[in-house]
Amino acid sequence: MKAPDRTIAEWRLRTRALELGRRTLVMGVVNITPDSFSDGGRFLDPEAAVTHALRLLDEGADILDLGAESTRPGSRAGGAAGSEVAPAVSAEEEQARLLPVLEGILAARLQAIVSVDTYKAATARAAIAAGAEIINDVSGLRWDSGMAAVCGGFKCGVVLMHTRGRPEDWRTQPQLAPDELLAAVRSGLAASLAAAVHVGIAMESVVLDPGYGFGKRFDENYALLARQAELLSLGRPLLAGLSRKSFLGRTLAPLYAGTTPNAESVAFAPVEAREAASLAALVAAILHGASIVRVHAVRTAVEAALIADAVLGAHRIT
């Protein structure tokens, strides 16, 4: 396999900058929701969420990504097994969940780098005012017309993710051939990047995310992962979020046949059984050009990233 051209780049945030490409950075997920597919409800209490976030920092997280609204899709499009599309949350409720946790983290660890996972401009504005350095927009600036101006005005770091359609569309979207899929992801990310630059967001402030599981049917995610490095041609570093995704659980499902009373209906490995698969996907993403990985279990991800980085380093030497 040819090593990807994961060049050294600066990611300019609101008050500081991060070097990307020399080593993989690990972004730890903190879901402040009752309904996220992985750990919904576990960290809805602000004190529990702050404690969890500080633990992730102690385990080696470079960035914390706080989310207060689930964008979980329905099960037939690659989301949580048996789930329906997550209900929308108002900006007011989202902020009521999010801001106490953000403030608690920064009160305990002033230098922590916090990203906020939101597509709402009002929540982004409030989070940046409270100290967030990065806005992680799963819609790539598409779902709220005010988001680009907020990010440009505050000059924060931005993650632009590719999403094909909206969550309610994902269950019925037609399958795409690998070439069609790559073209759709590339053109979507290029359009989001152009929109960002148009409103004054610096290229150096942007990281791109292929959006695994977001409008991609199960096997499409593997086709995307296998060709992820092609997206580096867009000129910005890549973030990959593969942790515990349902397409991994679907691949593992045969291992769990016969382990439940309704074995014939097992379509997914349970979420708690997807950690090894998540690490395998994480390593593949790094070897295919990702500079940042978004994960739930930080310590093992840090260790896996060190090994993947060593492989990349050895490839360059030889």
9-317 is classed CATH 3.30.1360.70: no
What does the angle CA 216 – CA 239 – CA 63 come to, to the nearest 5 degrees?
Answer: 130
Question: pLDDT tens, 141-152?
Answer: 999 999 999 999
- With tokens 């946790």, the residue in question is 101
Domain ranges of the chain: 9-317
316 is catalytic: no
Question: pLDDT tens, 222-241?
Answer: 999 999 999 999 999 999 99
- Give the active site residue among 142, 236, 245, 274: 245
Eight-class DSSP state of 308: H
194: tokens are 């152009």
Residue 170 has what pLDDT?
A: 86
End-to-end C-alpha distance for the chain, whole angstroms: 13
pLDDT grade for 88, boundaries at 50, 70 and 90 = confident
294 is catalytic: yes
Question: pLDDT tens, 257-311?
Answer: 766 555 455 689 999 999 999 999 999 999 999 999 999 999 999 999 999 999 9
User: What does pTM read for this prediction?
Assistant: 0.91
Q: How many CA atoms lie within 13 A of 269 on its CB side?
A: 19
